[in-house]
Structure 1
Amino acid sequence: MGKSFKLVLAVAFWLLAMPARADDGARVVDIPTRPGVTQRLLVLAPPVPKAAVILFAGGHGGLQIAPDGSFGWGKGNFLIRSRQLFVDQGLLTVVIDAPSDRQLPPYLAGFRQGPEHAADVRAVIAWVRQQSGLPVWLVGTSRGTQSIAAVATRLSRADGPDGLVLTSTILTDPKAPAVPAMALKKLSIPVLVAHHELDGCSHCAYSEIPNLMQKLSALPRKQLLSFSAGVSQGDPCEAMAYHGFNGLESEVVGQIAGWVLGR
């Protein structure tokens, strides 16, 4: 029996064993993380997954995923609305909610860079690896980049992700460490940065990107993907502005997947 066939069987068995199924074929699952705490995930699988991505929304991060897979908040977020695009690229796609003890305001605000968040994500990474046998990448957008960068700098190489994708990165922040201010020198994994040149969010000015890339300069594999097209509507820090790659979803996800998969 070939390795790829075994992988397909393993993923199929995994999905069949999950307790709830959403209308789009996704599965909702709760896994234990810290004592008395569970982490809810929405999992979508292509027929033959080639790698796994865990998607971290921005904002307060409290998606409030229901048992039927619907979202109480955040369904328009760039990564959340684009989740099927990742699946279509051959990626096992996991959407992560706030943990069970952070299901009320302020949700992940003030939590993203702490040890408990890192412990939760470590458990999710381990679970995805155990169930699928796939390399696991963390993909964050906006405030989600603060989550994945902080987690990756806290976890060991064995427990942490196989790579990071930072989209619409938080580059400056007066209230908490922005991504360039984190201990990025601890990283040894590949890092992809995707950013819109016209991002109007005050925390994500494209002029700050060189500072981030300089902090990643020692990594053996890193790249910046820049975008300049699309549509900007509403608040410049929200999902339908350039900040959320409005109108560019397929292009951005396609390039991310190609880089993750080494195409």
Structure 2
Amino acid sequence: MRNIARYWIAGFLFLIALVSPAQAQTTQKVVDIPTRPGVTQRMLVLSPPAPRAAVILLAGGHGGLQIFPNGSFNWGAGNFLVRTRQLFADQGLMVAVVDAPSDRLSPPYLSGFRQKPEHAADLKAVIAWMRAQSKVPVWLVGTSRGTQSAAYVATELAGPEGPDGIVLSSTILTDDRGRPVPAMPLEKIRVPVLVVHHEQDGCALCAFANVPVLMGKLENSPRKALLSFKGGENRGDPCEAMAYHGFNGLDREVVPQIADWIIAR
């Protein structure tokens, strides 16, 4: 029995050792901030000690995460950016996972709203809050339809009101339901832009062959780069998070490279 207890304790201590120091010290809380008159914006905030930068994570799809007060999600828990939020924090980044605003908490949520002035106003308030809390550069990171939010806001907000940089992962490059990212006035973006894309992305709206068009339109960005990936796992709907589109199986490869590029500034 003593040997069994000894092995159990040793195994328990080993599991504790696997938890990174950053993860052990990261705090998590749900925050609601006022944005427009009568409207609040809910987000799940992860705060590591002494963050080196801050990221606002914008999920794809309809964007209605429906974050509960305890920090769990009614929808979107498997989304690439939602599921990797702790990995971003482990890299020394303060993280905000953003829900739909209080006046968009039912269908269609953010669908049809991502390129509206009200959406820019909501994210302007989030950027200001994150900047005040973290005292470090604040970046917008969008994936799939979240790239339409990130790119739109970067074309609408500049200077202290806007982000210090943006990351576009699995960018919407063509769109039969609205304006894709390359069709936006991207020449207005004058902050660093990192494009992250899977070369085997099977989503019809995100064909890797169309990425050069996007890169060519970021003409006034002071620093831009493309991170491309291959492999991983490809399951289910090609436009969903468990396919190549969502970098399934590559989280621990993709996130550190994004964080390194952000911090390198």
Distance (whole Å) between structure 1 residues aligned to residue 28 and residue 222 of structure 2: 35
Match of 2:145 in 1: 143
Per-residue CA shift, 1:169-200, capped at 9, x if unaligned?
00000221100000100010000000000000
For 1:30, the aligned partner's letter is: D
Structure 1 residue runs without a partner (length 5+): 1-23
Match of 1:131 in 2: 133
Q: 2:124 aligns with which of 122, 125, 135?
A: 122
Match of 1:160 in 2: 162
For the residue of structure 2 that corresponds to 1:59, the secondary structure is coil
For 2:144, the aligned partner's letter is: S
Written as runs of structure 1 = structure 2, the 5 A alignment for 1:190-205 is 190-205=192-207
Moved more, 172-181 or 189-198: 172-181
Structure 1 length-normalised TM: 0.90
For 2:113, the aligned partner's letter is: F
For the residue of structure 1 that corresponds to 2:225, the secondary structure is strand
For 1:68, the aligned partner's letter is: N
Shift of 1:216: 1.0
Written as runs of structure 1 = structure 2, the 5 A alignment for 1:10-21 is none
For the residue of structure 2 that corresponds to 1:208, the secondary structure is helix
For 2:244, the aligned partner's letter is: Y
Q: 2:103 aligns with which of 101, 107, 112?
A: 101
Q: Is the 8 A contact 2:128 2:161 kept in 1?
A: yes
Match of 1:170 in 2: 172
Shift of 1:25: 4.1
Match of 2:253 in 1: 251
Distance (whole Å) between structure 1 residues aligned to residue 113 and residue 219 of structure 2: 28
For 1:151, the aligned partner's letter is: V
Distance (whole Å) between structure 2 residues aligned to residue 48 and residue 123 of structure 1: 22
For the residue of structure 2 that corresponds to 1:92, the secondary structure is strand
Per-residue CA shift, 1:43-94, capped at 9, x if unaligned?
0011221100000000000000000000010000000000000000000011
Match of 1:5 in 2: none
Distance (whole Å) between structure 2 residues aligned to residue 67 and residue 258 of structure 1: 31
For 2:168, the aligned partner's letter is: L
Q: Is the 8 A contact 2:27 2:48 kept in 1?
A: no
For the residue of structure 2 that corresponds to 1:149, the secondary structure is helix
Structure 2 length-normalised TM: 0.89
For 1:70, the aligned partner's letter is: S
Per-residue CA shift, 1:210-242, capped at 9, x if unaligned?
100000133220000000111100000000000
Match of 1:17 in 2: none
For 2:78, the aligned partner's letter is: G
Shift of 1:117: 0.2
Match of 2:51 in 1: 49
For the residue of structure 1 that corresponds to 2:100, the secondary structure is coil
Q: Is the 8 A contact 2:155 2:186 kept in 1?
A: yes
Task: Give the fraction of aligned pairs with identical amino acids, expressed as a percent.
Answer: 69
Distance (whole Å) between structure 1 residues aligned to residue 28 and residue 132 of structure 2: 19
Q: 1:88 aligns with which of 77, 87, 90?
A: 90
Distance (whole Å) between structure 2 residues aligned to residue 54 and residue 38 of structure 1: 16
Moved more, 185-194 or 150-159: 150-159
For 1:124, the aligned partner's letter is: V
Match of 2:17 in 1: none
Match of 1:232 in 2: 234
Structure 2 residue runs without a partner (length 5+): 1-25
For the residue of structure 1 that corresponds to 2:213, the secondary structure is helix
Moved more, 41-50 or 236-245: 41-50
Q: 2:223 aligns with which of 197, 221, 227?
A: 221
Distance (whole Å) between structure 2 residues aligned to residue 189 and residue 210 of structure 1: 19
Distance (whole Å) between structure 1 residues aligned to residue 91 and residue 39 of structure 2: 32
Match of 1:110 in 2: 112
Number of aligned residues: 240
Distance (whole Å) between structure 2 residues aligned to residue 230 and residue 153 of structure 1: 33
Match of 2:36 in 1: 34
Q: 2:75 aligns with which of 69, 73, 76?
A: 73
Distance (whole Å) between structure 1 residues aligned to residue 27 and residue 257 of structure 2: 25
For 2:164, the aligned partner's letter is: D
Question: Rg: which structure is higher?
Answer: 2
Distance (whole Å) between structure 2 residues aligned to residue 217 and residue 230 of structure 1: 32
